[in-house]
Amino acid sequence: MLFGGAPLGLLAGTAFTLLLASACAFDLRVRRIPNRLVAALAVTGVLYVFATLPAMTAVLHVLGGGTVGLLLWLPFWWLGVLGAGDVKLAAAAGVWLGSAGVVEASLIGAAVGGVLAFWALARQGGVAAGAARFGVWILTSRTTGTIAPELTPKERRIPYGLAIAAGAVAAAWVPGLIW
């Protein structure tokens, strides 16, 4: 467990979880994750890692986790599937989790995201309606030669920060769920 039984670990784990819960609340309410919240998550992660690991190990942990979290989710932003806040949230959580932890968190988050996608499909007319919207999006993208803008109104899009946060919390509190 990343947050062991020591008081500092439990305090840090609580802060990590509350910051991610706050990101979820913003994502649900306004479909945005504030930069200040992401920065607070990253800074507290750096402080915790440097307080609990030797300096060189901490540097590698922070840089590796943040970079891997960014690189895993950045392509989805480039494709217009995720917002930049989601990508930054994954990178900030990676600061806490390290490179292996953020990979595990991302896999768990992708599974949670799949559940959210099925929920969204059910809310928005089922699989047939979703397939029709996807077909129109693909056709528009192919016709224009660029990635077409999202057709779903912002307030009906999947708040993917929930999936990323759920994966991060699971990987932090119960590491080894996948490997």
Domain span holding position 92: 7-173
Res 1 pLDDT > 60: no
- What is the mean pLDDT of the segment spanning 7-23? 96
Q: By the 8 A CB rule, do 39 and 174 touch?
A: no
Q: Residue 64: what pLDDT? A: 98
Q: Is 2 part of a structural domain of the chain?
A: no
Say which residues have a Cβ less than 8 Å from residue 76's Cβ, sequence separation at least 6.
Answer: 82, 86, 87
Please state, rounded to an integer, the average pLDDT across all residues of the chain.
Answer: 90
Q: Residue 138: what pLDDT? A: 76
Q: Is 179 part of a structural domain of the chain?
A: no
Q: Residue 135: what pLDDT? A: 78
DSSP 12-55: HHHHHHHHHHHHHHHHHHHS---HHHHHHHHHHHHHHHHHHS-H
Residue type, 151: L
pTM comes to 0.86
Q: Is 178 part of a structural domain of the chain?
A: no
**Total domain count, the chain:** 1
pLDDT tier at 155 (50, 70, 90 boundaries)? low
Q: Is 158 part of a structural domain of the chain?
A: yes
Chain-centre distance for alpha carbon 118: 18
pLDDT tier at 11 (50, 70, 90 boundaries)? very high
Classify residue 148 by its DSSP letter.
P
Res 28 pLDDT > 60: yes
Res 158 pLDDT > 90: no
Res 65 pLDDT > 90: yes
Per the listing, tokens 């890692």 go with 49
Q: By the 8 A CB rule, do 93 and 164 touch?
A: yes
Q: Is 105 part of a structural domain of the chain?
A: yes
Question: 103-140, pLDDT tens digit by residue?
Answer: 999 999 999 999 998 887 777 777 777 777 777 777 87
